[in-house]
Amino acid sequence: FNEPNATYDYALATTDKNLTSPGGNFTVRGTALSVNVTFAPPIYPVTFSETGLATGTGWSVTLGARTHSSTTSTIAFNESNGTYAFRVGSLAGYTVSPSSGNVTVHGAAVTEAIAFTVVVGPEYSVTFAEVGMPPVAGGGVAFNGGALTPFGGGGRVTFTEPNGSYPYTIAAASGYLLV
């Protein structure tokens, strides 16, 4: 082309739908010039969207050889057409499904749903017992933020919980002191 001095924008097209180019611009400044153009496969977003984690919990996905991490509910990659292996990083206290697999990009964005589930271990009995006094009405235990559960006729209160640390408050029956 023979063009006067100026800046020119250009767009590129090809009949090969497996290639694309962003186009660009060039400036003529009184001398001949060559503009190199590059065609590459089109890029599409591959998004992993998790459910089940508490807000702000960190998680990660490895897609191919790249690992991305996030504390939000999504992790995104940009990929050309093809099939890619993925693996979700493990988190203590959770199971994840799917933990690995393949995603296929075929001319459009892809979203893969990832579900985290809290692992609930076995539960154990936690028993509070009155000792050294006859069973009386009024005493009890408020366990793990719950309402006061009165000691029964046997002077015992039992809760069933998984491993963990739990707050509790013991209330004495009227006329008695806790020691």
What is the model's pLDDT at position 115? 97
For residue 94, give the amino acid letter.
Y
pLDDT at 138 over 80: no
Q: In this predicted model, what pLDDT tens digit does every residue of 87-128 receive, in sequence order?
A: 999 988 889 999 999 999 999 999 999 999 988 777 889 998
Tokens 């504390």 label which residue?
Answer: 71
Q: Which CATH number fits domain 44-118: 1.10.3720.10, 2.40.30.10, 1.10.10.10, 2.60.40.10?
A: 2.60.40.10
| Rounded Cα–Cα distance for residues 168 and 126 (Å) | 11
Q: What is the DSSP letter of 137?
A: T
Element (H, E) at 152: none
Tell me what percent of the residues of the chain surpass a pLDDT of 90: 46
**Which residue is it, tokens 């590459």?**
40
pLDDT at 164: 80
CA-closest candidate to residue 101, choices 117, 115, 91, 122: 115
Nearest to 54 by CA among 116, 3, 123, 113: 116
Write down the domain spans for the chain. 1-40, 44-118, 123-171
Residue 157 to residue 35: CA distance in whole angstroms? 83
Alpha-carbon distance 47 to 54, whole Å? 19
